Amino acid sequence: MGAVTEATKETFRDLVSSGSVLVDVWGPDCRPCLALMPEVERQASERAELDVVKVEAPKARRLCMELRVMGLPALLLFRDGEEVDRLTGEGITASSLDAWLDEKLASTG
C-alpha cells in the first residue's frame, strides 16, 4: 500500500479493484497537474491505506472517455473498483486535496 503506479488502459481496472485508490488523471501540458504532482505523491507516501494510480490523459484517451473525465487535473477516488467521488479543476490545492481525502477516506472506511 501507499504506492504510486502508472496505469494503462490494460492495467487500470486491476489497479483500482481493491481498497482505496486515488486516480490522478494528468497531462504533461497541464500546469496545474504538474504543480499537484508532488502533493499527490506525498499523499501516497503518507497514507498507508491509499494507493495512488496515475493516468497520463493523452496516452489513455479512451479510458478518460470511459471515466467521463472532461478536464484536467482530475482526481478520482475509487473504493473496491467503484468511483466514490472526484475532485476536478484548476483550483485544487494541497490543502483542499488533503481535506477532501480526509473526509472521503473517513466516510468510506
Beta-strand ranges (E) seen in 7-62 are 20-26, 50-56
Q: Is residue 108 part of a domain?
A: no
pLDDT attached to residue 1: 47
pLDDT tens track for 36-50: 999 999 999 999 899
Residue 47 belongs to domain spanning: 4-102
Q: Check pLDDT > 90 for residue 78.
A: yes
What's the CATH code of the domain at 49?
Answer: 3.40.30.10
| Structural domains counted in the chain | 1
**Looking at this protein, which amino acid is placed at residue 75?**
L
Q: Is residue 107 part of a domain?
A: no
Enter the pTM of the model: 0.94
By annotation, the residues acting in catalysis are: 30, 33
Phi-psi region of 99 (alpha: psi -120 to 50; beta: other; left: phi over 0): alpha
